[in-house]
Amino acid sequence: MIHVEDLQKSYGSLRAVDGISLDVPEGELFGFLGPNGAGKTTTLSMISGLLKPDRGRVSIADIDVWSSPKAAKRLLGLVPQDLALYEELSARENLMFWGSLFDLPRAKLKANIDLWLDRVGLKERAKGPVSKFSGGMKRRLNLAIGLVHNPRVVLLDEPTVGIDPQARKNILDIVRDIAREGTTILFTTHHLEEAESLCDRIAIMDHGRILETGSVEELAKVAGDGDVVTVNGPFDAGRFRAALENQNVNILTAGDGAGVVSLASGRMNVVALLQKLGEGGIEVTDISIQKPSLESVFLKLTGRELRD
């Protein structure tokens, strides 16, 4: 359904997107996971046709986004990170304005507006000015605007940014529902739990590149199949690495006072790890143990935690 080939975009000397390629089949919920500045929004802007790439091509259902923009965009719904709302208008008026851009028959558009006002929980506030809405209500309306023409492909750019947990849950529930109904979705986020709970497949992005792609289970194997152990103490990074040199561990990150390692399943346990650290003169004051996760994968691929 979505084909992206060698996308590249630079701003002066900054390479914002660096040769991204991917294919998303119909009905898949595909996520871009990465920190702010990773290139997620720039990538979505090029896929939607809002931003022309320096190099590469994008097609939606075999329709080239740049040679046939109107035909491609009729298939797309875009929910931007920045709210695309007219606050002096009501929710219904906003939906009528944006929905009319897709040349739907008026009766069909009105029916769609009623449907989406109900689905996003704004039916009772449909006639009130958007300026009086809470942040969560505005986010839900922003989502409805991107869905009012019932697109086959929806691009969601950080749709839950800046809202409370209950409002976030409401939006994620709607995203799950439309995915189950067969809509193809591209979803960007810097929240690990959102990507883990929502996406069929995830692309981990950093510095404009896709570092790894797969399901949660497939990605977790990148960090190893054993426990992920975090240790803290008054040690420096060099001594920590030296103590574990040639051992059956995968050092995910090592810094002064903290280190994270993945144990090789069946080849080293936590007791043996602490013994090796002790033999290397490493004092451990705190330790935590987890199963492999997207967080440990991100550590492995980038050397830092996602929140950084």
Greatest Cα pair distance, the chain, in angstroms, is 76
Nearest to 283 by CA among 240, 230, 234: 234
CA distance 171 to 102: 24
Better pLDDT: 291 or 238: 238
Would you say 66 and 58 are in contact if contact means Cβ atoms under 8 Å apart?
yes
CATH number of 2-220: 3.40.50.300
Cα atoms in the 13 Å half-sphere on the side-chain side of 57? 9
- For residue 210, what are its two tokens? 């896709």
Structure confidence by residue, pLDDT tens digits, 167-202:
888 899 999 999 999 999 999 988 888 888 899 999
Percentage of the chain modeled with pLDDT above 90: 56
CATH 3.30.70 residue ranges for the chain:
225-291
The structure's pTM equals 0.83
Sign of CA dihedral 162, 166, 167, 173: positive
Sign of CA dihedral 85, 10, 71, 75: negative
Q: What average pLDDT does this structure show over 260-271?
A: 79
Cα atoms in the 13 Å half-sphere on the side-chain side of 72? 21
CATH 3.40.50.300 residue ranges for the chain:
2-220
Amino acid at 117: L
The CATH topology of domain 225-291 is: Alpha-Beta Plaits (3.30.70)
Question: Interhelix angle for 135-147 vs 165-180, to 10°?
Answer: 10
CA distance 53 to 62: 18
CA distance 170 to 90: 21
| Interior angle at CA 65, CA 63 and CA 70, nearest 5 | 85
Would you say 181 and 27 are in contact if contact means Cβ atoms under 8 Å apart?
no
- For residue 28, what are its two tokens? 């898949």
CA distance 294 to 223: 9
Place of tokens 């903290």: 258
Query: DSSP E strands: which ranges in 61-149?
Result: 63-64, 76-79
Confidence tier at 263 by pLDDT (50, 70, 90): confident
- For residue 226, what are its two tokens? 């054993």
Structure confidence by residue, pLDDT tens digits, 13-67:
999 999 999 999 999 999 999 888 889 999 999 999 999 999 999 999 999 999 9
Q: Strands 184-189 and 29-33: what pairing?
A: parallel
